[in-house]
Amino acid sequence: MSVPFADLLSMHREIADELDQIWGVVLERSSFIGGPYLDVFEEQWAEYCEVEHAVGVANGTDALRLTLEALGVGPGDEVIVPTNTFIATAAAVATVGATPVFVDVDPKTLLLTPQHVADAVTQRTAAVIPVHLYGQPVDMPAIVEVARRAGIAVIEDAAQAHGARWKGQRAGSFGDAACFSFYPGKNLGALGDGGAVVTNDAPLAERVRQLSNHGRGPDRYLHQVVGGNSRLDGLQAGILTLKLRRLDAWNEARRTAANAYRNLLSGLPVDLTEQRPEAESVFHLFVVQAPGRDELMNALAAAEIGAGLHYPVPCHLQPAFAGPTQPRLPVAEDAARRILSLPMFPHITENQIESTVNAIERHMLGLSEASVA
C-alpha cells in the first residue's frame, strides 16, 4: 500500500460543498481584500487562541517580520532563535535588520528550553522566538519568566501548533504576541498563503495592522507610518473560518494517529520525539530519530511511503547564515542526521500507519520484501 506524506484532498472533500458556497459569496460581494469574512475570521481566531486580538496577514513569515517591526526590533538587536526550526523564523529576524542568535535544543523533544534562553541573553537581546515545533508547545511559562527577568519580548512561532496546549492553555496565548501560518499544509491551512498575529496587546495589534496595510490609521487616506502590503484575502479568511470548525476534530485525528504509531513502533530501534506531560501536541509532524536515516528513507521511498525531513540542515548551518562566527550546536546538528518525519495527516488510516511501520520494521530487520511475502 502506498502512503502519501500528507493528504490535503481528503480534508477538502469533506467540506467541498461549503467551500463552493464561500467562493460564491465572495464573488457576489466582490469583497476580495478585507471584508466581512476577514472580520469574522479574526474574531473567531482570537477567541480560539484565547487572546483579545488577531490580525490577518499574508503569510506566517510576514506575521513574524511585522511583529518584530511593531515591537521596534531592528539593527543592533539580537533575537534568540532555536536553530531547529523552519528557516523563516530566523529569516524574519534578519529581514528587520536584527541578528538571529541561534541556540541548541533539547535532545528528547528537539525544542527550545528555558535554560537555552537564559544562557543566550546579552545586553543586546531584544526578544526570543520560541517555536512550538512539530505541534508540541515549549515550556512557555518558564520561558516567559526568563524573558521577563531579562526584560526581553517573547514572540511565539506557532506556525506548526494551531490549537496545541500547555497545561490546558493555548499555544499562542503566552507571549507578547504569537505568529501563525496558514500555508496549505499546516494544521489550519488556507487554499493559498495566509498568516496571523495574535496578542492581548491592543496597541501592538494596531501597529501590526498599520504596517500590514500601507501604514494606514483609522482614516484610510492618512498613512501614519511607512508600511507595506501584507493582508489576508477575504476568500482565504472565509475558507479558514470554515476549516476552523473542523480543526479540533482534525487535531484529535492526528493525536489518534500518533498514539497508533507510538504503540506499533515500540520495540523497534527508532526513538520517538518525547512528549512532555504538560503538553497537548497537535502533531503537525510525527518525527522519529533513527540510525541510518538516509537508508531508511530510501527503503520507505521504495515501498512508496512518503517521508520528510524537518529539518535536515539546522538554521545556523544554512548557507544564508553559516560562517565562522556561528556556534557549534551539537544536539541539533546530530539530530539533523537522524530525524525522519513519517506520514501524518487527519485522514490517515490504521492500515496506512501499519504499512508504514511494517516497512520500517522490514528495513530494520534487514529482511527483503520477498522473504516476508
Ligand X SMILES: *Cc1c(COP(=O)(O)O)cnc(C)c1O
* Footprint on this chain of ligand X (rule: CB under 6 A): 59-61, 85-86, 88-89, 131, 157, 159-160, 181, 183, 193, 195
How far, in Å, CA of 245 to CA of 230, rounded?
A: 25
User: Using CB atoms, what's the residue nearest to ligand X?
Assistant: 60
How far, in Å, CA of 114 to CA of 139, rounded?
A: 7
How far, in Å, CA of 284 to CA of 251, rounded?
A: 8
The SS3 of residue 201 is: coil
Contacts of 48 (CB under 8 A, 6+ apart): 163, 170, 244, 247
CB of 310 to ligand X, least distance (A): 8
Q: Which C-beta is closer to ligand X: that of 89 or that of 352?
A: 89
CB of 64 to ligand X, least distance (A): 7
Q: Which C-beta is closer to ligand X: that of 84 or that of 289?
A: 84
CB of 193 to ligand X, least distance (A): 6
59, 62, 63, 69: CA torsion to nearest 10:
-170
CB of 316 to ligand X, least distance (A): 16
How far, in Å, CA of 209 to CA of 16, rounded?
A: 31
CB of 99 to ligand X, least distance (A): 18
Q: Which C-beta is closer to ligand X: that of 58 or that of 101?
A: 58
**Which amino acid type is present at position 172?**
G
Backbone angles phi, psi at 308, to 5 degrees: -135, 175
